[in-house]
Structure 1
Amino acid sequence: MKPKLIQFILVIMAAAGMASCTKTMDLPSLPQNKITSYKVVNLPDTVIYGAIDNIEKTITVYVPFYYNMVVIDPEITLSEGAKLSERALPVSINATNVKYTVTGADGNINIYSLKIVNQSISSLTVDWLTTEEQVANPVGVLPSIKGNFQSRNAQAVGIELAKRGSGQKVNLAMAAAGMQTEGNDYTLFNVPIPATIDTGYYDVTLAFAGHTAKLAKPVHITFQQPDLLIPSREVKQGGEISFDAFNTVFVGLKAASVTVNDQIYPLTILSYDRLKMTLKTPDDLPVGVYNYTATYNFEFEGWPIVSKVGALTVLPK
Structure 2
Amino acid sequence: MTNKNILIIGGYGFIGSALVEKYYKENNITIIDNSDYSTSSLGLRNIDISKINIHHGDATDKDFILSIGDNFDYIVNAAAILGIKKVAEKSIQTIQTNISTSNNSLELAKKQKHLLKYLSFSTSEVYGIKTYNSKECDEAVIGPPNEARWCYAASKILIDHLAFAYHREYNIPITIIRPFNIFGEYRLGSNAINTFVSKMLSNEPVYIDGDGSQVRTWCYIKDFIAGIDSALTSNYINEIFNIGNPFNKITIYELAVLIKSLIGSKSEIIVSHSSVPDVKFRTVDIKKATDKLNYIPNYSLYEGLANFIEWRKSI
TM-score by length of 1: 0.23
The structure with higher relative contact order (CA 8 Å, sep 6+) is 2
In terms of fraction of residues, the more helix-rich structure is: 2
In terms of fraction of residues, the more strand-rich structure is: 1
The structure with the larger Rg is 1
TM-score by length of 2: 0.23
